[in-house]
Amino acid sequence: MTTVIRYAIGEAVRRKVFLVVLVLTLIFLGLDALANHYIFGDLSHFHPPEDVHVDVRTFAASFVIGMSMFATLFLGVVLAVFLTLGAVSGDAERGLLQPIVVRPIGRRSMLLARFFAAAGVCVVYVLVVYFVALVITGTEGSWWPHSIVAPGLLLAAAVVVMTAISLLGSVFLAGTANGIAIFMLFIAGLVAGLLGTIGHALGSHTISHAATVAAWVLPFEALYQDALHQLVAGTHGFTTFLLQLGPFGGSYNSGWGVRGWAAAYLVMVGAAALTAFARRDL
């Protein structure tokens, strides 16, 4: 299995996947550093809402970190999709897959290796970008969130879920079609989060409930909301502001329920991918 993991990573390096993501990441971190510099250079322009009883520094820093977490999630999903979108159908169409799966290693190990390779790379990537963004805000704003590690781990878990979905999609769809489908799912999740925020603002239980259901159907969104919640869960005076942290979905305390569901979801998606791949003619 380690052979296929090394092969998959080598293939990603060769296809310049990492280069593209590295460039995007550097642009994002550069802009993040610039934004932090100007925000914390003069905090007098910022005024927290009246119902949020926190100091302006906490308000600005948590807001910026919330935004950077969304960007980290987005970049992590881009990396996950690029690493897996053509893992089965795409490679089979190009004739790259057949010489490998006729070897004794077999399809199950091949698919699991592709998942571990992509998930491993994405977890490391998300954690690194998350912590760098955190350090930028922490250094510029002299503010650190209540929980530092948990939001990063939840964000990484959200990307791992997307990796699994993309791998499942690659069994059925050609590379381009799968890439489009996965990004549409990603956007659907984000829209669900946005809907939740709107529902809460309007006081509509129906809209909020629909958003919650959608977030659980696509648990990467629920994990992202959980990560936002973990960021400031222990900060006094933030309770009413929690819903406004992220641009596509506020923070929700789903607790261990959503984490357990995400783990089960991952197992189900993985099982579906393995079963479908085992039955697929190449």
User: Where does this chain bind other proteins (CB under 8 A)?
Assistant: 3-4, 7, 10-11, 14, 94-96, 98-106, 279, 281-282
Give the residue with the Cβ less far from other proteins, 30 or 106: 106
- DSSP per-residue codes, 63-90: HHHHHHHHHHHHHHHHHHHHHHTTTTHH
CB of 10 to other proteins, least distance (A): 7
> What is d(CA 269, CA 282) in angstroms, rounded to the nearest whole number?
21
CB of 111 to other proteins, least distance (A): 14
Kindly report the CA angle at 17 between 16 and 19, in degrees rounded to 5? 60
CB of 270 to other proteins, least distance (A): 20
The CA-based dihedral angle spanning residues 37, 48, 230, 222, taken in that order and rounded to the nearest 10 degrees: -100
Give the residue with the Cβ less far from other proteins, 31 or 102: 102
Task: Name every residue whose Cβ is closer than 8 Å to that of residue 267 and which is 6 or more positions away in sequence.
Answer: none
Q: Count other Cβ atoms within 10 Å, centred on residue 262.
A: 22
CB of 67 to other proteins, least distance (A): 37
* The amino acid at 140: E
CB of 96 to other proteins, least distance (A): 5
Kindly report the CA angle at 132 between 42 and 17, in degrees rounded to 5? 125
